[in-house]
């Protein structure tokens, strides 16, 4: 994380510069799962799709002799509760990418780069976030909480002490991966949290499209990992 996170921040800023011209290519109107004006119908349709995919995953796991850990199921339930709490408290689905983009934008300004002149940073939301404190943006504030929480857990479990310092090739891979994640998350309007988790749970088709592309990208990433010493 120590190397991937800075790469993600830089990549998200690069993505913010690329997003406006990419949007000029054209876009479809938002597509909701179920396509109905009835909230109940849309909710049932989306829930059926989610449980259908879950059933397929359970079947494939059982067929290959893999058992799902109770800890995974407990963690899944906990994440669902946290997502609901974030939505109730903040008024919008959970997302982290924008907070990292704001961090990168502020660092760019401190470095003397006129990032505020870019199209993305002149949009109302990003422009306001760039002027305000990093503690005024909900996404940024939650990112601080996640990092502190992860660091605390790593400290009490001695996770860092148990791991040797990775070789340079793996550090380079972490930076490259962070850059790719940052650019991709900005262009996709979110990462595996804002685009995938929040997208699917809110009944948006783009969450499922993100998942398909993420699986394809993960397959490619697995194939090239050996070149970086993994």
- Domain annotation covers residue 104: yes
Per the structure, the count of domains in the chain is 1
pLDDT band per the 50, 70, 90 thresholds, residue 83: confident
Residue 17: its pLDDT value, please?
A: 96
**Which residues, in sequence order, are CB contacts of 32 under 8 Å at separation 6+?**
42, 203, 204, 205
218 vs 73, higher pLDDT: 218
Q: Averaged over 115-126, what is the pLDDT?
A: 95
Nearest to 58 by CA among 70, 50, 49, 66: 66
- Domain annotation covers residue 132: yes
pLDDT band per the 50, 70, 90 thresholds, residue 121: very high
230 vs 173, higher pLDDT: 173
- Domain annotation covers residue 197: yes
- Domain annotation covers residue 88: yes
Backbone dihedral region for residue 96 (phi beyond 0: left; psi -120 to 50: alpha; all else: beta): alpha
Residue 141 has pLDDT above 80, yes or no: yes
Residue 127: its pLDDT value, please?
A: 95
- Domain annotation covers residue 41: no
Supply the DSSP string of the chain, one letter for each residue.
-TTHHHHHHHHHHHHHHHHHHHHTT--PPP-BTT--S-HHHHHHHHHHHHHHHHHHHHHHHHHTTPPPPHHHHHHHHHHHHHHHHHHHHHSS----HHHHHHHHHHHHHHTT--GGGSSGGGSHHHHHHHHS-TTTSHHHHHHHHHHHHHHHHHHHHTTTTTSPPPPHHHHHHHHHHHHHHHHHHHHTTSSIIIIIIHHHHTTBHHHHHHHHHHHHHHHHHHHHGGGGT-
Nearest to 191 by CA among 207, 205, 202: 207
Residue 63: its pLDDT value, please?
A: 86
Do 53 and 211 meet the contact criterion of CB atoms below 8 Å apart?
no
- Domain annotation covers residue 45: no
pTM score, whole prediction: 0.86
CA 193 remoteness from chain centre: 4
Tokens describing residue 46: 């989306």
- Domain annotation covers residue 180: yes
pLDDT tens digits for range 11-36: 999 999 999 999 999 888 878 787 76
Share of the chain above pLDDT 70, in %: 97
Domain that includes residue 130, residue range: 4-15+68-228
Residue 40: its pLDDT value, please?
A: 84
- Domain annotation covers residue 168: yes
Mean pLDDT rounded to a whole number for the chain: 89
| Residue 175 dihedral angles phi and psi, to the nearest 5° | -65, -45
pLDDT band per the 50, 70, 90 thresholds, residue 1: low
Residue 159: its pLDDT value, please?
A: 67
**Angle (deg, nearest 10), helices 4-23 and 168-187:** 30
How far apart CA 116 and CA 122 sit, in angstroms, is 7
pLDDT tens digits for range 34-50: 776 777 888 888 889 98
Residue 160: its pLDDT value, please?
A: 67
pLDDT band per the 50, 70, 90 thresholds, residue 161: low
Q: Averaged over 109-136, what is the pLDDT?
A: 94
């Amino acid at each position: 994380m120590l190397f991937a996170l800075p790469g993600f921040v830089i990549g998200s800023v690069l993505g913010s510069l690329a997003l406006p011209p990419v949007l000029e290519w054209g876009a479809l109107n938002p597509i909701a799962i179920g396509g109905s004006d009835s909230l109940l119908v849309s909710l049932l349709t989306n829930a059926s799709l989610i449980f259908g995919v879950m059933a397929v995953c359970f079947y494939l796991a059982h067929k290959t002799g893999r058992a799902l850990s109770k800890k995974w199921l407990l963690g899944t339930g906990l994440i669902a509760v946290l997502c609901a709490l974030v939505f109730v408290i903040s008024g919008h689905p959970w997302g982290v990418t924008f907070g990292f983009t704001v961090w990168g934008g502020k660092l760019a300004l401190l470095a003397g780069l006129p990032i505020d002149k870019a199209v993305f940073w002149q949009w109302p939301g990003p422009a306001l976030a760039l002027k305000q404190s990093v503690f005024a943006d909900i996404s940024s504030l939650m990112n601080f909480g996640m990092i502190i929480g992860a660091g605390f857990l790593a400290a009490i479990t001695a996770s860092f002490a148990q791991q040797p310092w990775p070789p340079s090739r793996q550090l380079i891979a972490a930076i490259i991966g962070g850059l790719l994640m940052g650019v991709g998350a900005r262009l996709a309007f979110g990462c595996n949290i804002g685009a995938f988790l929040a997208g699917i749970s809110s009944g948006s088709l783009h969450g499922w499209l993100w998942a398909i592309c993420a699986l394809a990208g993960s397959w490619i990433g697995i194939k090239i990992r050996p070149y970086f010493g993994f």
